[in-house]
Structure 1
């Protein structure tokens, strides 16, 4: 039994005959970081709204540790960072985080300690007393994240947490999430950043038109049955030009990963290694496991993957 269990979840908005969520099944385990992605309008924010109790489901089941969802239970067990910027007008980062902690039950001294710890962790202490109107979008995003995290909820629901955040603090944000997950907290992170989903999450779910089209992990991708082999190439080899030479049906390039039909792998490897000086400096790794970026692109093309 997971920390959160969703079964056969449907959500219809008023006046619509088309479901925003269609039969969603999902399990989030304790200490797990789940990456939730999909196209605009796929249902990601709606799903998180149902889980945090702000949206009523039309039918289905959501359970926290085996107990059926109620709005009160959801407020006690979850914290949410919305996709939109937190309403910080007229306040400073330190006051916003401190008040959020106190609202969630922290004493004044505990709220001060939590606020200072979070500001220091994300290297934004210099902005502690700056009015929000003078802050960059990235700093405001980090303040919203801190407001969500100040309570230490068992499960955090984060909608596009790294939007506008600079590369250095993006790494800090993900490091914080991983540290907290090691301590037993769980996360659902909704994002269009497929690279971050691949690098930092334990479990990936892709939504399309309100339905789950992929639910798995790198391990389950490795065990899925498919005809493709995934060739990771590191070096100066000009992969775009090479793909143009191959002419094989369905050979595709995703970053530094080639998606190759199994029957053509030997030929592809030969061409890579024969590419003059660049070929001699090329490092190749072959896998039956697609990188998540490649998998996401295949899903967008309508190809079928089953990671259950």
Structure 2
């Protein structure tokens, strides 16, 4: 009688199937702003900018290290987080925040220090707007004042510079029922920005600013664990100079995510920026003629 060849009951060879192609369930991870992931189909790596609900289904926008944006559907097992497959899901707006600040009576506060309204729906957008000089300004305002702005129905847009501010204001056409506020970087006497701002006027438009060369400086150094913001020689790109001085490399996109990630509330910001933003919100929402 011929003996049968021995066959092991199990296959002990390593499974070389890529992890994102396996059928095992992947954990669900909220697509919080700043989370860095890789899209499995394209290999595109970037930080989450926002999630949106579209007619084709929920999507996530990622920003790569060059500041470019791409939009992807929120498909199961569609992303890698630290090399492991995950299913990104839209963050719950009413999800409790670990360590959320509260009043002495236990009422939750927003990042700006205002009383939070859990479960409240965003108000329909007002006709008025707040313009800020750049994308980083907009992201910082959103992180600290986002809850307040949604409740008030105030939309914040960024301009990519203020060189054409007078024309932009004329095109917007501020009115009592559509007031405009503008936040300008480096608004100090004698600066180019101050000369441009002086060309804009009217009861329904308010231009305010902070004294910092860049909005990064409005974040307190202590929040980042540095003694102070470096002094960058005139004529050198400020962000690049800061990154070099602090040993952060020269990827300013990654450096900004580091700066933004260090901000958890208004306590991490300089009062010069806090006061300017609060004035703009008041101008658009409670000034004369505001609805």
Using structure 1 for the length normalisation, give the TM-score.
Answer: 0.25
Using structure 2 for the length normalisation, give the TM-score.
Answer: 0.26
Q: Which has the higher helix share?
A: 1
Q: Which has the higher strand share?
A: 1
Is the radius of gyration larger for structure 1 or structure 2?
2
